[in-house]
Amino acid sequence: MSTPLVTSLPDYTEPAQRLASDLGYNYQPIRAHRFPDGEYRVSVPTQPPSHIIICQSLDHPNDKLIELLLAIQTLRPAGVKRVSLVAPYLCYMRQDKAFHPGEAISQQIIGHFLADLVDDLFTVDAHLHRVDMLQQAVPLKNAINLSAAPALGEFLLQHDLHPLLLGPDSESQQWAQQIAEVGGFDWAVANKQRSSDVDVRITLPNIDFQNRVVVLVDDVISSGHTLAQATRELQKAGASKICCLVTHALLADGALDLLHQVGINDIWSSDSISHPSNVIHLADMLASELQTLFRS
Amino acid sequence: MSTPLVTSLPDYTEPAQRLASDLGYNYQPIRAHRFPDGEYRVSVPTQPPSHIIICQSLDHPNDKLIELLLAIQTLRPAGVKRVSLVAPYLCYMRQDKAFHPGEAISQQIIGHFLADLVDDLFTVDAHLHRVDMLQQAVPLKNAINLSAAPALGEFLLQHDLHPLLLGPDSESQQWAQQIAEVGGFDWAVANKQRSSDVDVRITLPNIDFQNRVVVLVDDVISSGHTLAQATRELQKAGASKICCLVTHALLADGALDLLHQVGINDIWSSDSISHPSNVIHLADMLASELQTLFRS
């Protein structure tokens, strides 16, 4: 059997090359040219091996989903038998039910689209709220949801902060708890009430934040409003330093400005989505999980 | 059998409503909300009839292809048995071969994607260059490529211009000839040599353009460079007025400015793609073709 090849779309070259290097495989890019009319011309590696690993996060997903369709349907007739998609950030996981009649359950539809296209799917900290297992969203035997908590916990341990970890809402409890367990950190969860996209109220738990280094932890930053509001409350409660540690830096326009304005001290993220706040590479963890699966 | 319902994505409401009105069917929108992270929440009409007609051109296609996937996979479990897609402009038809090794043949891949999703597909003046039949690109029994030439010819007849129609290159011959036949107009074809995306050389045919109203005809305007260059040559050759008539106004940023700068007198298009140059509604023709098929 020939050695697998690692590839990616142009915006994800660095994390994919890092994964290839950790696995000891070669990297070759998928090329994609955007025409002025919004269509893409996609080119895949020629004479591919029978097993291709596509390392590609799926933030801002629609162009990428079509580019992946074009790439994979070009690789298959060129002899590729197994496509392993490593998508550290997986798209459309939040729309997991029809909140109003007629709404598409995008998690299921995009999950099936991906399951039809690839053979294995690895992701990290997928936003699974009403389903327990990634396989319920992406119906593949090898649909594997990894946790970045060990890598995030290790990062905090190395920085000797003695932090108190705070999840800003009940959904973030799992990340707070898991990261805390890595380093034996204190942890707690706040209560969030949301009245609109931008209007969020945070109630802190009844513990002493005075002179504590507080690290807000969550799976994803998107608008930044929740974290901004939590920062304001922590300032009132006397925290000495307030940082934020997330897996996915999916920051909307203006989110970073908002967080800097309210005076957050640091924002740290994994490289699941390329962003200036990236401080944690996921490649080691991904490589180790892939090797375990491919050897089995 | 219940009456079919016409629907569309938000950007195509007007042409879809016009089609619904011509067919005597109701129109209800597919709603689509774009989140800041580039994902879409799509909502379809509730309690849909068993036959849905989606009227939606596919210019700037990737978001629309994903929105259609979400919409149609929500309509199917709600009881929809037949989906007829009316896409006056059909995407990805130009990449109809691998011009270099490894290139995706997007025409085939997107054609199969659409054929898996819908039951009938109607389009207008699809850019079929190396394939003869739309079915070779979109493998459906009812994959129907209509010609806008009768509607475009009628438009010219009503304007009493006694024009000479000129196709700017050999690929445009079919449009020039077909439109000319509707009104009994003179027609000819120029010769184009392209050395880059923006560097185009046009050689006019050896006929007298002095004091003629010349209408440049083509299936699509995209960059505008070909038509701009043809306009310059026609000005040198003494044409009294130079206009442009196309089915698809797929104008890239700057194309309209370029054409106005070189002094083109008028730009006319069908409403296959919404654009200020739209002067010809395709709804009548589309309604008549749909009725013919649905009655058969």
Q: What average pLDDT does range A8-17 have in this prediction?
A: 97
| Residue A197, pLDDT score | 66
pTM of the predicted model, to two decimals? 0.95
Helix (H, G, I), strand (E, B) or coil at A276: coil
Q: Are A45 and A5 in contact (CB under 8 A)?
A: yes
Tens digit of each residue's pLDDT (9 = 90 or more) over A133-176: 999 999 999 999 999 999 999 999 999 889 999 999 998 998 99
Question: Within chain B, which residues score under 70 in pLDDT?
Answer: 1, 197-198
DSSP for B32-56 reads EEE-TTS-EEEE--SS--SEEEEE-
Query: Strand runs (DSSP E) across chain A, as ranges?
Result: 5-7, 26-27, 31-34, 40-43, 51-55, 82-86, 120-124, 142-146, 164-167, 186-189, 191-194, 200-203, 213-221, 241-249, 266-270, 278-280
Give me chain B's average pLDDT, please. 95
Distance of alpha carbon B182 from alpha carbon A281, whole angstroms = 65
In chain B, which segments carry CATH 3.40.50.2020?
Answer: 5-147+281-295, 149-271
A33 DSSP β-pair partners: A41
Residue A198 has pLDDT above 80, yes or no: no
Chain B interface with A: residues with Cβ < 8 Å: 31, 36-46, 59-63, 65-66, 69-71, 73-74, 91-92, 94-95, 100-106, 109-110, 112-113, 222-223, 250, 252-253
Biggest CA pair distance of chain A: 63
DSSP notation for A249-266 = E-PPTTHHHHHHHTT--E
Question: Closest by alpha carbon to A71, among A59, A88, A56?
Answer: A56
CA-based nearest residue in chain A for residue B112:
A73
Selecting from B41, B63, B104 the residue whose C-beta is nearest the C-beta of A74 gives: B104
Provide the pLDDT for residue A1.
62
The pLDDT > 70 percentage for chain A reads 99
The β-bridge partners of B146 are: B124
Cβ-in-10-Å burial (0-12, 13-18, 19+) of A142 comes to: middle
Q: What is the mean pLDDT of residues A237-246?
A: 97
User: What pLDDT does residue A32 have?
Assistant: 98
Q: Which residue of A has its CA nearest to B255?
A: A36
Distance between CA atoms of residues B40 and A92, nearest Å: 8
**pLDDT over 90 at A223, yes or no:** no
**CATH of A149-271 among 3.90.1150.10, 3.40.50.2020, 3.40.50.970, 3.40.350.10:** 3.40.50.2020
In this prediction, residue A128 carries a pLDDT of 83
CA distance B43 to chain A (A): 4
Adjacent-strand bridge partners of A103: B43
ipTM here: 0.94
Mean per-residue pLDDT for A226-244?
96
Subunit contact A253:B36, Cβ cutoff 8 A: yes
**Listed range (A119-123, A268-272, B190-194) with the worst mean pLDDT:** B190-194
**Considering the domain B5-147+281-295 in this protein, what is its CATH number?**
3.40.50.2020
DSSP secondary structure string, B140-202? Answer: -TEEEEE--HHHHHHHHHHTT---EEEESSGGGHHHHHHHHHHHT-EEEE-EEEESSSS-EEE
Substitution target from A68, A103, A114 for chain B, most B beta carbons within 10 A: A103
| pLDDT value at residue B161 | 87
